[in-house]
Structure 1
């Protein structure tokens, strides 16, 4: 086995968490170093602080995939006698690449907010704040009848034809393909300068625009022709909506007091800040990782009984209290749940392709707050 290339790892990761899902202006993607290298060890981290970098150096990590960008504001000076400058210096000197997946990982299905909703035990989960519409497209491709099954399987495995609980959906019709190979052609069927007629299948299948590149690459790789005939159509049907936060239901209502105990256990925190009466009943829950102050109105609009988010402001809490919305602030650091979730995603890719790359999670505790 050999280690994976950094670019290959990130291309796979971005199928799960596309950059297009990020909120406008977010600082995501490659931040330090290069992805054009072999990666023997990947480490997943919430924050890229100096102790995390020291851990990466000790463990001989080649690539850090982080949730919070290390470069978020414009850098006016990079002084290596400051903690921040020294941290970046260490990364560069030890050839450690840093890649950040921030709001795109929050929005992604199966990303941070879905991980949090699952940890709480929410059911019938929906998006809290819609930010991205992933429109539907249709691929129409013409394939020799003998190779049609291979192409159908390839595009299905790439994600085309997923409708509800069904996968690999397609419509197929038979017809006659005609072509004449010209000078310089290397035809799979036929001879240069001779008209050729082939029994072909027209395969039609829908997919979401975010995976277009993956579907087309799979189709071209499986197709026998050197020049593939295909069409792409935009669909009138609505696409898939993605967004920040999640809203769902507890299996049974709990008192706010009991719900708080569930939150503390789910996110491994010793204390939380709470708005609302301890004995009030909560069943519909909104959750948003990180700073969710400006989305409190969305939680109210969705009819949530309680809103779980971090970094709550004093006056936001006052407004929620007057509107009758309970709130639980377990801190921004609960997004650490992403470390194990992302590790599993990268590990699946590594194992599937028989790479020797090792995938680790940072064990450094990066929450600046502690309860006394």
Structure 2
């Protein structure tokens, strides 16, 4: 199995197009054509992780966080990033990162936190906008159903929990084939009128190339009239954070004890406790202070995240509890999620959960 084949499987779970613009995801180091001897899954790629990969004969590291985040002008080993890159290249070890592509996935980082905490019916806290496109084309009525079905099979027409979504309306199309045309219908030099349908369906941009290739292959006309439009609609199944409910509401102190136990943390930094039962829980793995207001607006009783600064705790305003359990701690189960996914998709292949400790923060 090649590196490219493995990364294709990973991108079925978390397409790189779903990552945030600031991020650096995908294959960061390595030749995609190389054969994979083993896969090591980690949260961060540090020197000890490279050593572990070498010891376990793994030449592909799947790392949640990207080791290369900003541009490198030189690689001399002067800092931990350069040393990791050098050691990986010297030992022919590839590194692939998913980061916010997985953060934004409804089955990713935040879904795993909800699973661990027993949060029911989770939904996206901050749905993404501008990530839905619409295709409109015009097709003879005789070929409408064939084209519609082909586009569905290519990935078009999915809206939330529904598939095969489209709209069509009949009308009259006209065209005059030019001298060099090879018309399927009509004659050169004569204006032709055809009973056509205007067919529209939305799609995830991830499938655009496949959808357009299917359109051109299946449509009967030599020249296909079509339109692509970027929509500002909210995608309810893609975005940052999640929010759901507890089956049995508990008071604030009880929930904090439960949170410490389930997330295996010794310290929870939190805002002032509120005098109400904790029922609605919002989570966002990693640095999530930017979503405090979204959690409040969604009616969360507690918001679990990391990297909250001093003044940001004031934003709780006694409307919810802000609980900072640590960056590593919120994302600690992500590598388990990826190992499970890879084992299901490529069974009988060497996929290993990293045992290296990569949390840079220690508690005394």
The TM-score with structure 2 as length reference comes to 0.77
Q: 1:114: how far off?
A: 2.4
Partner of 1:338: 334
What aligned pairs does 1:46-125 form with structure 2 within 5 A after superposition? 46-75=43-72, 77-80=74-77, 83-125=80-122
Q: 1:42: how far off?
A: 2.1
1:116–1:228 distance in 2 versus 1, CA, 3 Å = farther
Aligned equivalent of 1:268, options 242, 264, 267:
264
Listed one character per residue, the Cα deviations across residues 39-60 of structure 1 (whole Å, up to 9, x for unaligned) are 2322221101111111111112
The answer to whether residue 35 in structure 2 is matched with residue 38 in structure 1 is: yes
Structure 2: give runs of 5+ residues left out of the alignment: 170-181, 183-195
The answer to whether residue 243 in structure 2 is matched with residue 247 in structure 1 is: yes
1:338–1:222 distance in 2 versus 1, CA, 3 Å = farther
1:240–1:297 distance in 2 versus 1, CA, 3 Å = closer
Listed one character per residue, the Cα deviations across residues 14-59 of structure 1 (whole Å, up to 9, x for unaligned) are 3432333222222222222222322232222110111111111111
1:18–1:249 distance in 2 versus 1, CA, 3 Å = same
Partner of 1:286: 282
| Contact 1:154 1:218 (8 Å CA) reproduced | no
CA distance in 1 between partners of 2:217 and 2:112 (Å): 35
The answer to whether residue 347 in structure 2 is matched with residue 359 in structure 1 is: no
Partner of 2:131: 134
The answer to whether residue 19 in structure 2 is matched with residue 22 in structure 1 is: yes
| Contact 2:245 2:281 (8 Å CA) reproduced | yes
| Contact 1:43 1:56 (8 Å CA) reproduced | yes
Partner of 1:180: none
Q: Give secondary structure in 2 for the equivalent of 1:39.
A: coil
Listed one character per residue, the Cα deviations across residues 312-352 of structure 1 (whole Å, up to 9, x for unaligned) are 222222x135444312122111212211222333344435x
> Cα RMSD (Å) of the superposition?
4.2
Say which structure, 1 or 2, has more relative contact order (CA 8 Å, 6+ apart).
1
The answer to whether residue 295 in structure 2 is matched with residue 299 in structure 1 is: yes
Partner of 2:176: none
Listed one character per residue, the Cα deviations across residues 168-203 of structure 1 (whole Å, up to 9, x for unaligned) are 456899xxxxxxxxxxx9xxxxxxxxxxxxxxx999
Q: 1:107: how far off?
A: 1.2
1:302–1:169 distance in 2 versus 1, CA, 3 Å = closer
CA distance in 1 between partners of 2:352 and 2:150 (Å): 31
Q: 1:161: how far off?
A: 3.4
CA distance in 1 between partners of 2:158 and 2:111 (Å): 20
Listed one character per residue, the Cα deviations across residues 78-103 of structure 1 (whole Å, up to 9, x for unaligned) are 33365443322220011111122222
CA distance in 2 between partners of 1:284 and 1:34 (Å): 46
Partner of 2:306: 310
Partner of 2:157: 161
The answer to whether residue 203 in structure 2 is matched with residue 211 in structure 1 is: no
Q: 1:126: how far off?
A: 3.2
CA distance in 1 between partners of 2:28 and 2:304 (Å): 30
CA distance in 2 between partners of 1:232 and 1:12 (Å): 30
Q: 1:228: how far off?
A: 10
Residues matched between the structures, number: 356
Listed one character per residue, the Cα deviations across residues 193-228 of structure 1 (whole Å, up to 9, x for unaligned) are xxxxxxxx9996734232324643884899699x89
1:283–1:103 distance in 2 versus 1, CA, 3 Å = same
| Contact 1:307 1:327 (8 Å CA) reproduced | yes
The TM-score with structure 1 as length reference comes to 0.75
Q: Give secondary structure in 1 for the equivalent of 2:346.
A: helix
